[in-house]
Copies of this chain bind each other. A is one copy, B any other.
Amino acid sequence: APKKLLILPGDGIGPEIMNEVRRIMDWMAQARGIRFDVSDDLVGGASLAVHGQPITQEVIDAARAADAVLFGSVGDPKWASAGFDRRPEIAILKLRQELGLFANLRPAKVFDSLADASTLKPDVVRGLDIMIVRETVGGIYFGNPRGIETLPDGTRRGINTEVYTTPEIERVARVAFELARKRDNRVCSVEKCNVMESGLLWKEVVTDLHAREYPDVQLTHMLADNCAMQLVRNPRQFDVIVTGNLFGDLLSDLASMLTGSLGMLPSATLGAKGEDGRMPALYEPIHGSAPDIAGQGKANPLAQILSFAMLLRYSFDMQEDAALIEQAVSNVLDRGLRTPDIMSAGRTEVNTAGMGAAVVEELARL
């Protein structure tokens, strides 16, 4: 039976960049006879508008039943002041939690032909290839107690709780060690063990797991503040970084920006393999919904296309097809095609559809 793929385009530029992935799927069907069982649904502001909530139980169930979820992006200024429980972001937080998507894989990779796009000196970022593994269902995002309370004297108190347990730390560290073995075999574990006990436990658990199961991988530890500095000072020192939810949020965005081209970067969020061998997984570009340019054909579809390639690689074990798409993207860039976000002097500007078409053309040629 064909693999079940749930597509959630979301808000803003989500739908239009997702169309370019559909174009690639069409090509795969025609040229290579590969078919998926695709269904489509609403999330984020798009779901709020129809259902009054950022994600419905049906969509969560459909995501659970799918072999993989391809997500666009959520966020719509219309809902900016909709209140804490009706934010479009709830869609992604709920999917992470309900499907147990605990490991967010965020590659920060510089394409040779885009090394100049970075605000960092080309010498510092050329060849950059970091993988950040961020824990995504624990930590301060989900810990209790949480909320805002009013004390008898009228003072208000906002509270959130950072909690990590041994198994939560182990499973995400395991993902990092496994990835490192297929890369440069180095993991840097990041926390604030000098001020936070949750970070102290994090460090101990990663150290123990390393000694027990991954002694062949090189493990180092770094404080989160120092890591923020080192990513700017000399980002190429890193191979795989593993860290908690909150630090991962900041550090992965920082690392992305080092590449200078957010429109290029995919991500995967993976859960645990079930007894049936299936692994829940969601793939999405790291950029947002960019409402300011939505519907204008200006959006760069490459992060969404590369998210689809990651999906083929990690969820469907279609290494060859994934590599083919990545190669096609790289070639298109080498040929000088650029959407407005990565345009520079002497290159050829194309729109969203033009970029998608160019990737398909390139695929046909490879």
Interface residues of A, Cβ cutoff 8 Å to B: 84, 87, 89, 93, 119-121, 124, 140-141, 143, 146-148, 151, 155-167, 192, 194-202, 205, 224-226, 228-229, 231-234, 246-247, 249-251, 253-254, 256-258, 262
Contacts known (A157-B165, A165-B156); A226 close to B199, Cβ less than 8 A: no
B234 touches A254 (CB 8 A): no
A195 touches B228 (CB 8 A): no
Contacts known (A147-B197, A166-B155); A251 close to B228, Cβ less than 8 A: yes
Contacts known (A200-B84, A225-B249, A225-B253); A156 close to B166, Cβ less than 8 A: yes
Which chain B residues lie closer than 8 Å to A160 at the CB level? 161-162, 196-199
B158 touches A161 (CB 8 A): no
Contacts known (A121-B119, A197-B146); A254 close to B254, Cβ less than 8 A: yes
Q: Which 7 A-B pairs have the closest CB atoms?
A: A158-B201, A158-B198, A232-B257, A228-B254, A225-B253, A229-B257, A160-B162
A232 touches B246 (CB 8 A): no
Query: In whole angstroms, what is the CA distance A125 to B226 when docked?
Result: 20
Looking at the complex, which one of B162, B225, B257 makes contact with A233 (CB distance below 8 Å)?
Answer: B257
Query: In whole angstroms, what is the CA distance A192 to B245 when docked?
Result: 12
B198 touches A159 (CB 8 A): yes
Query: In whole angstroms, what is the CA distance A18 to B38 when docked?
Result: 67
Query: In whole angstroms, what is the CA distance A105 to B59 when docked?
Result: 47
Name the residue on B nearest A169 (C-beta): B158
Name the residue on B nearest A162 (C-beta): B160
Looking at the complex, which one of B156, B202, B246, B262 makes contact with A158 (CB distance below 8 Å)?
Answer: B202
Query: In whole angstroms, what is the CA distance A120 to B232 when docked?
Result: 8
Query: In whole angstroms, what is the CA distance A200 to B157 when docked?
Result: 11
SS class of chain A's interface: helix, strand, loop or mixed? Answer: helix
Which chain B residues lie closer than 8 Å to A224 at the CB level? 249-250
Contacts known (A120-B120, A224-B249, A253-B229); A159 close to B158, Cβ less than 8 A: no
Contacts known (A120-B120, A200-B84); A228 close to B246, Cβ less than 8 A: no
B165 touches A162 (CB 8 A): no
Which chain B residues lie closer than 8 Å to A234 at the CB level? 119
Which chain B residues lie closer than 8 Å to A157 at the CB level? 163-166, 201
B156 touches A201 (CB 8 A): yes
Query: In whole angstroms, what is the CA distance A24 to B87 when docked?
Result: 56
Which chain B residues lie closer than 8 Å to A141 at the CB level? 195-196
A200 touches B250 (CB 8 A): no
Which chain B residues lie closer than 8 Å to A195 at the CB level? 89, 93, 140-141
Query: In whole angstroms, what is the CA distance A256 to B157 when docked?
Result: 31
Query: In whole angstroms, what is the CA distance A256 to B226 when docked?
Result: 11
Looking at the complex, which one of B119, B143, B194 makes contact with A124 (CB distance below 8 Å)?
Answer: B119
B201 touches A148 (CB 8 A): yes
A89 touches B257 (CB 8 A): no
Which chain B residues lie closer than 8 Å to A198 at the CB level? 158-160
Query: In whole angstroms, what is the CA distance A197 to B84 when docked?
Result: 8
B194 touches A148 (CB 8 A): no
Which chain B residues lie closer than 8 Å to A200 at the CB level? 84, 148, 158
B89 touches A194 (CB 8 A): yes
